[in-house]
Structure 1
Amino acid sequence: MKLSTPRYTFCLFVQLMFLLLDLIFNCVSLFPRSRDGLLVLFIFQDLFLILSITIMLMMFFSTYLFQAGLVEVLMRKFLWAAAVSAGYAGASVALHAVWLADKWGDAHHPSGPTLVLLFTVQRCLSPWYYYLYKRAAMRVSDPRFYEDIDWINRQLQTN
């Protein structure tokens, strides 16, 4: 797949960089030195996660399919990536909130089993998120999504 403009290459590079940073943050968060350092780490991880999803949405919105009102074709192609990204983002934010509440010793949040469950869910979703997000980022960078060509008609006929 050849990218036709530098814009798509730049967006793909930024998306892959955010994925790598998320992976690094997941690894580093296992060895926190202080709760304040953990808070900063989680803020940056959640910020980069939100930015990566925002960049993906901007790429979707700039496609010819979206602008022509053919959202169902995009949804068919990227439904699993969107669902797993939303699930991973929700699991990450929930894990970070419970983990920080546990670190600060908040008695109103019983987080022993909850923390283990959220940690397991988030870590099990992470490889699926990395794989599907990277795949979606590379697929949405395909120039066919930005042109009015016969490919779009074939996609509509397969529905």
Structure 2
Amino acid sequence: MSLLCFDLFVNSCGELIRYEPANQLMLFIVQDISILLNLIIILLMLFNTYVFQVGLVSVLLERFRALLMLSVLYLTFSITLHCWLMNLRWFNTNTYIWTDGLQVLFMLHRTASVLYYYFYKRTAECLGDPRLYEDSPWLQDIFTRVRHQGSFLNSQQH
């Protein structure tokens, strides 16, 4: 959650230091690394579940697909926005430069950030569910369904 708070801080206050491009560049680099670390942390949390360990990766991917895709999209938007901003403003710190494309990318980035915060927090709460870390009737039911579908598909192929 601290990495999310840092990301929110940079999104809120990153433009205030645009007059010092080296500092802004370092802040953007740390922000992009924190987004990547958040993605790695969620993946590690998914790998530690009992559901993953018994081989039901598809169940986890189906349940948390939105966050994984949104994380990659948000990281892509962040890197693109940061490169574009630094490219336009590195030598022109005193001028106001906002192209139409940059404004669109900025709005997409900020919209993706709100969705990213929501889905990340929701996923972190969902990963606290004890049913994901132990054998349970819910998991046995899913495992039986997956095994039954696999045997049904194999019988149709022969």
TM over 0.5: yes
State the TM-score, normalizing by the size of structure 2: 0.81
Runs of 4+ in 1 over 6 A off after TM superposition: none
Q: 2:128 aligns with which of 141, 145, 151?
A: 141
Q: 1:128 aligns with which of 78, 96, 115?
A: 115
Q: Distance in 1 between matches of 2:49 and 2:89?
A: 44
Q: Distance in 2 between matches of 1:141 and 1:98?
A: 38
Show CA shifts across 1:108-136 (max 9, x none). Answer: xxx82332221111011111100001101
State the TM-score, normalizing by the size of structure 1: 0.81
Instruction: Name the counterpart of 1:35.
Output: 21
Could you say what the CA RMSD is over the residues aligned between the two structures, in angstroms? 2.0
Q: Distance in 1 between matches of 2:55 and 2:116?
A: 27
Deviation at 1:41, TM superposition (A): 0.8
Q: Distance in 2 between matches of 1:115 and 1:155?
A: 46
Instruction: Name the counterpart of 2:152.
Output: none
Runs of at least 5 residues in structure 2 that lack an aligned partner in the other structure: 93-97, 150-158
Deviation at 1:105, TM superposition (A): 4.9
Query: SS of 2:135's equivalent?
Result: coil
Determine which structure has more spread, i.e. the larger CA radius of gyration: 2
Q: 2:54 aligns with which of 68, 82, 97?
A: 68
Query: SS of 1:72's equivalent?
Result: helix
Identity of aligned residues (%): 36
Q: Distance in 2 between matches of 1:153 and 1:89?
A: 36
Q: Distance in 2 between matches of 1:97 and 1:114?
A: 13
Higher relative contact order (CA 8 A, sep 6+): 1
Q: 1:103 aligns with which of 55, 74, 89?
A: 89
- Are the structure 2 counterparts of residues 105 and 118 from structure 1 closer, same or farther at C-alpha, using a change threshold of 3 Å? farther
Runs of at least 5 residues in structure 1 that lack an aligned partner in the other structure: 1-15
1:54 aligns with 2:40: yes
Instruction: Name the counterpart of 2:5.
Output: 20
Which AA in structure 2 matches 1:44? V
Instruction: Name the counterpart of 1:90.
Output: 76
Which AA in structure 1 matches 2:113? S
